[in-house]
Amino acid sequence: MKLCYSIDALSPAGDKAWRLQQNHTWRPCAYAEPLQTGDARITDHLEVEDWIGRRLKKDKETVLAPQAKAGTFDFLMRGIFAHAVMHRLSSAAIPDYEQMVKCVATLEPGTPWLLYLDAGGNFRAIDTQATGIIGNLDIAVRGEIASAEAYVGEKAASDEILMRRTWVQFLGGWVEHLKSSNMGVFVPDVEKLKEADDYLEAIRTWTHE
């Protein structure tokens, strides 16, 4: 799996965007568009995380000055903020049903777990009491936080109807992640799900940059 990140800045209304360049300038762009010559291509997670949520001050159309990172409530205010956009440079994996079931089975009920897909399409889970979610570059697609044995643990993993539905939800989220390049994509609501074959076909025919 080959990937990198661009840093895209988005206006408050979402109608304008800029992308960080290798020479530290910014160019106007369509948010999350394919990489162009001169775009900064960042692979260091720490460098990318330092940009996420950073406020930018626009002095001119293509001059954006980095400010402090956003506080807890800053996103309720108007402003230009930096976002990390993933760019895949190789094909995407198909999330594996059996791997998901095994992951769910290992989770101890009573802990607020987040089941998610990482950038490689692998199912993983984190204890949300110990690990942050916001700006976490490991989370490509996320489900809901759950702690009850109806949703995590061996009992949940043995519920084939629940597991099948959950897998299809993650397939839908994975397709959205591939199309949008956004991280932390929520799985679609159950009532909005398409057939698994529709998602699988979309994943197989998706092309990387």
pLDDT digits (tens, 9 = 90+) for 144-203: 999 999 999 999 999 999 999 999 999 999 999 999 988 899 999 999 999 999 999 999
pTM: 0.86
Q: How confident is the model at residue 68 (pLDDT cuts 50, 70, 90)?
A: confident
Virtual torsion, Cα 53, 178, 40, 82, nearest 10 deg: -20
Q: Helices 196-205 & 160-180, crossing angle to 10 degrees?
A: 30
